[in-house]
Amino acid sequence: MGLSIEEKVARDFAVRAHGDQRYGVDPYVVHLDEVHDIAVEFGLPTEYRVAAFLHDTIEDTGTTVALIEAGFGIDIAQLVVTVSGFGPNRRARIADAEIKMVAHPRGVPLKLCDRIANGRACLRQQSPVKLLAMYTREYPDFRAALYKPSQRSGFDCTALWAELDRIFEAR
């Protein structure tokens, strides 16, 4: 299945925004493509597939919320903002994003796609082994914080959670 025009525009935008950033040894677009493909695999609607390309732009580049909203609309901008965590360290960034996802559960399916992509990359050893250990250690709290909000997301997240359980619970 090919990309829609909106998905192509979002992908091109994200590739430019991320510039020379890397995801492990790969260009960052490899991660963005994987998050998008997971959104497709699990049947998420177009707005999530577009947001999949943009999900790290506010958090990891100089891209502003206003720029995302101007280019892709308020709904997609809200999804991107919701999954973006800010703070002085990883714990603070996770807490920030989780607070937003509890308040705006529509963002949870996008975050689950991102975490599946992270886990799958670790399992393929495209990320350092320590990342798999970190995600596995974080998983019980991640699941506890987001499972109930996922039930209010407007999307049946059962299959997404099953995949996350497969990746992280047996480690």
Q: Name residue 138's amino acid.
A: E
Torsion of CA 28, 30, 31, 35, to 10 degrees: 140
Q: Is 75 a catalytic residue?
A: no
- Catalytic hit among 12, 60, 75, 156: 60
The DSSP result for 56-98, as a single string, is THHHHSS--HHHHHHHH-HHHHHHHHHH---SSSHHHHHHHHH
Q: Is 9 exposed, middle or buried (0-12, 13-18, 19+ CB in 10 A)?
A: middle
Rounded CA-CA distance 121/49 in Å is 19
Residue 60 designated active-site: yes
Amino acid identity of 97? Answer: A
Query: Which of 59, 69, 96, 138 is the catalytic position?
Result: 59
* Active-site residue set: 59-60
